[in-house]
Amino acid sequence: MPRVIGIRREDKNRWERRAPLTPEHVAELTRHGVAVVVEPAPLRVFPDDAYRAAGARVDGDLSACPIVLGVKEIPVDRLNPNTAYFFFSHVTKGQPANMPMLRRLMELHCSLVDYEKISDDRGRRLVFFGRHAGFAGMLDTLASLGRRLAWEGIDSPFASLKLAHDYIDLEHAHGELARVADRIRKYGIPEALHPLVIGFTGSGNASKGAQEIFDQLPYEDILPEDLSSLFSNPDLPRNILYKVAFTRSDRANGGMAPHLRHLTALVNGIYWEPGHPRVASLPDLLALYSGDALPRLRVIADISCDLHGSIEANVKITTPGDPVYVYDTVSGEAVFGVAGHGPVILAVDNLPCELPVDASQHFGDALLRFLPALSRCDWSRPLDALDLQDEIRRALIVHRGRLAPSYADLARHLR
């Protein structure tokens, strides 16, 4: 069997410029004797010629590739029969929007490996963009905070920051953050904002990535139980920010509502499903914004981006070009921008695409180690006879048109 891997072009939206492998990764594969075919893509952050120079063939037809790598969901009319696809399928919760795609994969006798499910024997994800979702989400949060404060007439250190997609790469963003950090150290936070507190939820890669960006600014860690006393200390220095990380037990013991009034921004990174407690409910926000004066809480960044989920005011998904809206707690309307009586909600569901170079490099670094062995796999063989690493076998949703035993329950969503 020829050792050929295809890389499809992304077509989810105009913001999706990532690739599962960079030209450098492709060059490494070709050194291992693996042929790579790359579908031409004018929006991809890496030009077609860079892949040609790395040894790939650029061709709009991937039908001869036994394995095809992508990033986001694939339209049903672009699926080829008898192909092993690798991408983020978003089918494992039975998501209705993606059931036609799953059904078509099965009709075409395809195999599907979902990156989200590639894990080690301790259940830890191995191939992910999560940290870059956090990076982009925190950059967008700080930029949106600066814009909201400017609308209020407050000159803040964050006014100069850009949205994540406006930076060339992470190094560019780090340079801008360093200048903001220097300004905070020298001139402090405006009195109207002091103390400026950013709250974080979640312990996964997205939350860690967001905190990694924030930690480049001067800050002090505080505990949730110390939030109230923070505001009664007249000697509190103004040249640092304050960071509070809420654990699962913090959210369970009395909920988040008592803490929201102390936060300037909330960055939410928890995994949420229906029935789980909310981090910020609509009644919580209505109570917070019930007075004539605006409360301290200006921005809520829902990095996990669960529609009507842990942040109940996340009522519509946004794009990198127009990432925030104000949720009016009285009318329930969501108006794009930063102006209005309600919190600014960040609800971009594909944040890593805002940092396509760094995100693709990191993702490909993690994926590359599996590919030489996968290229040797005979995908026409029965499931039990497939020569797969355990990490990949755990992520195999469909093989040759049939649901793998671990995902058999998805059948009820296909009826």
What is the rounded CA–CA span in Å between residue 308 and residue 316?
Answer: 8
Q: Please, are residues 302 and 336 in contact by the beta-carbon 8 Å criterion?
A: no
pLDDT given for residue 254 in this prediction:
61
Q: Say what the pTM is.
A: 0.92
pLDDT given for residue 294 in this prediction:
85
pLDDT given for residue 255 in this prediction:
78
Tokens of 29: 């594969």
What is the rounded CA–CA span in Å between residue 18 and residue 85?
Answer: 17
Q: Is 262 helix (H, G, I), strand (E, B) or coil?
A: coil
pLDDT given for residue 33 in this prediction:
94
3-state DSSP helix/strand/coil percent for the chain, to nearest 5?
35, 15, 45
Q: Is 53 left (phi over 0), alpha (psi -120 to 50) or beta?
A: alpha
pLDDT given for residue 391 in this prediction:
98
Task: Name which of 113, 139, 152, 61 is nearest 386 in CA terms.
Answer: 113
What is the rounded CA–CA span in Å between residue 256 and residue 267?
Answer: 13
pLDDT given for residue 250 in this prediction:
80
pLDDT in tens, the chain (415 residues): 458 999 999 999 999 999 999 999 999 999 999 999 999 999 999 999 999 999 999 999 999 999 999 999 999 999 999 999 999 999 998 999 999 999 999 999 999 999 999 999 999 999 999 899 999 999 999 999 999 999 999 999 999 999 999 999 999 999 999 999 999 999 999 999 999 999 999 999 999 999 999 999 999 999 999 999 999 888 899 999 999 999 988 877 667 899 999 999 999 999 888 888 899 999 999 999 998 788 999 999 999 999 999 999 999 999 999 999 999 999 999 999 999 999 999 999 999 999 999 999 999 999 999 999 999 999 999 999 999 999 999 999 999 999 999 999 999 999 8
